[in-house]
């Protein structure tokens, strides 16, 4: 699995979203289920999948599909 | 007045929200008087709330008026459930934030909410009926808990007594107003003249932390998941000198996390109080005094002041010796009147007379502290929210057209089905209908759902984990 596929799988697991739904418009503002529980689940799965330890700032910043990519980029993970 | 608000200095601030709107005690009293004057007869109202000062004002305003009997609901209640509730209970009024479009005659408006008359039909309401809350916020059951005015007074008094609440308290309220524990926070703090810091912001939002620090919150109340969030947000490294009390309810907390918070509070000179409660009893029924927070970690403690816990065995006889399991029962003035399943039930009086069997299996130790060991009822508490297992089975039946068996723990629901093709559909449906994170559901495919000869599902034959 590529890193991007692994990344998308996190959103599929948490939101039941399909790959074609994921993109610029997939965020806290557009996805009604996206609350703190979901947000923390993303963080937990990011940490598990990519073997990371993220900071509170990352948790707070993780408010969209794209923001999650930025967090990974800051950790030196290319998608 | 129920909460004796007239005894509080009128200009004191009752609540501040994260939009920086403020509400005084006098404003609540004035709103309740206006409702009382303007509404001709006692009537049923759907009150759709957000966690802001308007939500508190209208909730307490209606209760104190004794004219409008609200069903308090999340403004984001799932549409089909909302429609079902409307069809079932046919309220005369709906009150909602002004951004919600309502059809009907607007009769009042303040604090960012509108009160709208939607029907001329009045249903008969029992004179003691104060408000209604959903039993299960997520599974779409229209079953409601019927509260009476005396419950509000009792919950306010009991809770403010054992938490030792005082006028200078500034509790941070993240629990929703339509959730029994959130509402009881409001009752108990208004009773002592405190200032509630209410927010609908997510705990993972940077503004949430700003609000907590700037407003110098003195206490925080959460469900187990709230404390998992605090833990992940590196709460233990933050400097929060004003925070004096942490309280937890809404289900059992993982022991290691509970210990971590109890130790932190001991070391920092703060209080850690774990509690136990049910919607059927206006929230809190038991609490573990801070002095036992570590020695008896995992215990729900003793009954709240003016309440009484007891155990009965399978034959209904009282259990009097420690370390003997039985069904836990509760007696107190915070026990609600019963359930409503249809509009006609709103005329019913008190069916419980202050006594309830909780459906939880427990034992007590030599000091009389109770420990929950299991549950007889068919529901889980996922993220502190009660989720009915039978209701979930019903959702799967209706939406996916297949039979399933739902079991599980407060960490995860396990859904057993026999049709492998439906695995994803079942999961997606439950996520969509309950708005609970998908990782809370695991759908397993088995050959047959075990049943007895009468066709009743044998849940004990299925793995709960």
Dihedral sign for Cα atoms in the order A34, A35, A41, A46: positive
Interface test with B, best of A37, A47, A58 (most B CBs within 10 A): A37
In 3D space, the residue among B369, B371, B463, B373 whose CA is nearest the CA of residue B414 turns out to be B463
Give B319's Cβ-side CA count (13 Å radius). Answer: 24
Q: What would be the CATH architecture of the domain defined by B5-374?
A: 3-Layer(aba) Sandwich (3.40)
- Helical (H) or strand (E) element with B444: strand B441-445
Q: Is A20 exposed, middle or buried (0-12, 13-18, 19+ CB in 10 A)?
A: exposed
Mean pLDDT, residues B42-68: 98
Least confident segment among B68-72, B121-125, B384-388, B445-449: B384-388
pLDDT at B137 over 60: no
Is the pLDDT at B435 greater than 90? The verdict is no
Give the pLDDT confidence of B228-260 residue by residue, as tens digits: 889 988 899 888 999 999 999 998 888 999 999
Give the per-residue pLDDT at B136: 65
- CATH of the domain spanning B379-461, picked from 3.30.1330.10, 3.40.50.620, 2.40.50.140, 3.30.300.30: 3.30.300.30
Q: What angle do CA B170, B304, B355 make, to 5 degrees?
A: 130
Residue B225 pLDDT class (50, 70, 90 cuts)? confident
Could you say which DSSP state residue B451 is in? B
CB B275 within 8 A of CB B247: yes
Task: Report the alpha-carbon distance of residue B332 to residue B356 in Å, rounded.
Answer: 9
**What are the residue ranges spanned by the domains of chain A?**
3-74
- Contact list in B for residue A32 (CB cut-off 8 A) is 76, 435
**How many Å separate Cα B450 from the centre of its chain?**
34
Task: Tell me the pLDDT tens digit for each residue of B342-374.
Answer: 999 999 999 999 999 998 999 999 999 999 988
- Looking at residue B352, what DSSP letter applies? S
CA quadruple B178, B180, B181, B184: dihedral sign: positive
Three-state DSSP state, B150: helix
Q: How many residues does chain B have?
A: 465
Model confidence over B57-88: pLDDT tens digits?
Answer: 999 999 999 999 999 999 988 888 899 999 99
pLDDT digits (tens, 9 = 90+) for A16-60: 888 889 999 999 999 988 888 889 889 999 999 999 988 888 999
Q: Which residues of chain B have a CB within 8 Å of the CB of A41?
A: 437, 439
Q: What share of chain A is helix, strand, coil (3-state, %, to 5)?
A: 60, 5, 40
Binary contact (A40, B229; C-beta < 8 A): yes
The CATH code that applies to domain A3-74 is 1.10.1200.10
> What is d(CA B123, CA B91) in angstroms, rounded to the nearest whole number?
8
Q: Best residue in A18, A27, A36 to probe B by mutation, most B CBs within 10 Å?
A: A36
d(CA B70, CA B132): 6
Q: What are phi and psi of B379, to 5 degrees?
A: -150, 160
Per-residue confidence (pLDDT) for residue B139, from 0 to 100: 61
Q: Are B228 and B256 in contact (CB under 8 A)?
A: no
Determine the residue of chain A that is closest to B174 in CA distance.
A36
pTM here is: 0.86
Nearest CA to CA, how far is B395 from chain A (Å)? 17
CATH 3.40.50.12780 domain range(s) in chain B? 5-374
Considering chain B, tell me which residue range(s) the CATH 3.30.300.30 domain(s) occupy. Answer: 379-461
Residue of B232, B428, B438 with shortest CB distance to A14: B438
């Amino acid at each position: 699995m590529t890193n991007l596929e692994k990344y998308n799988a996190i959103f599929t697991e948490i939101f039941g979203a399909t790959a074609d739904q994921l993109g610029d418009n997939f965020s806290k503002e557009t996805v009604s289920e996206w609350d703190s529980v979901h947000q923390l689940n993303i963080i937990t799965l990011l940490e598990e999948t990519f073997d990371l330890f993220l900071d509170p700032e990352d948790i707070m910043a993780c408010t969209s599909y794209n923001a999650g990519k930025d967090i990974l980029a800051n950790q030196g993970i290319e998608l | 007045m129920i909460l004796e608000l007239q005894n509080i200095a009128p200009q004191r601030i009752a609540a501040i929200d994260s939009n920086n709107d403020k509400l005084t005690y006098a404003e609540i009293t004035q709103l309740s008087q206006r409702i009382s004057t303007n509404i001709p007869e006692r009537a049923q109202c759907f009150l759709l709330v957000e966690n802001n000062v308007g939500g508190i004002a209208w909730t307490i305003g209606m209760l104190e008026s004794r004219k409008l009997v609200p069903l308090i609901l999340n403004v984001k209640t799932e549409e089909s459930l909302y429609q079902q509730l409307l069809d079932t209970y046919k309220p005369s009024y709906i009150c909602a934030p002004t951004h919600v479009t309502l059809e009907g005659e607007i009769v009042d408006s303040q604090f960012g909410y509108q009160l709208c008359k939607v029907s001329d039909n009045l249903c008969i309401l029992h004179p003691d009926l104060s408000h209604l809350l959903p039993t299960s916020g997520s599974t779409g059951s229209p079953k409601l808990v019927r509260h009476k005015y005396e419950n509000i007074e009792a919950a306010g008094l009991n809770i403010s007594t054992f938490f030792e609440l005082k006028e200078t308290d500034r509790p941070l309220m993240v629990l929703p107003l339509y959730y029994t524990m959130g509402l009881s926070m409001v009752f108990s703090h208004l009773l002592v003249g405190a200032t509630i810091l209410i927010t609908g912001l997510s705990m993972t939002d940077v503004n949430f932390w700003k609000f907590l620090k700037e407003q110098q919150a003195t206490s925080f109340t959460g469900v187990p998941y709230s404390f998992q969030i605090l833990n992940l947000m590196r709460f233990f490294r933050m400097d929060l000198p004003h925070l004096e009390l942490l309280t937890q309810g809404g289900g059992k907390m993982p022991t290691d996390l509970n210990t971590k918070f109890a130790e932190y509070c001991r070391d920092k000179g703060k209080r850690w109080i774990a509690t136990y409660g049910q919607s059927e009893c206006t929230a809190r029924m038991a609490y573990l005094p801070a002095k036992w927070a570590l020695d008896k970690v995992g215990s729900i403690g003793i009954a709240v002041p003016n309440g009484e816990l007891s155990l009965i065995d399978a034959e209904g006889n009282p259990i009097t010796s420690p370390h003997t399991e039985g069904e836990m029962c509760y007696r107190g003035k915070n026990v609600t009147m019963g359930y409503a399943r249809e509009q006609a039930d709103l005329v019913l009086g008190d069916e419980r007379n202050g006594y309830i069997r909780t459906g939880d299996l427990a034992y007590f130790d030599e000091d009389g502290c109770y420990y929950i060991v299991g549950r007889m009822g068919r529901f889980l508490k996922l993220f502190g929210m009660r989720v009915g297992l039978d209701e979930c089975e019903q959702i799967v039946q209706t939406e996916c057209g297949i039979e399933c068996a739902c079991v599980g723990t407060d960490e995860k629901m396990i859904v057993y089905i026999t049709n492998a093709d439906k695995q994803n559909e079942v999961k997606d449906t439950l996520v969509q209908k309950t708005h609970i994170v998908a990782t809370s559901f695991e759908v397993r495919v088995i050959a047959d759902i075990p049943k007895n000869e009468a066709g009743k599902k044998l849940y004990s034959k299925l793995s709960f984990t």
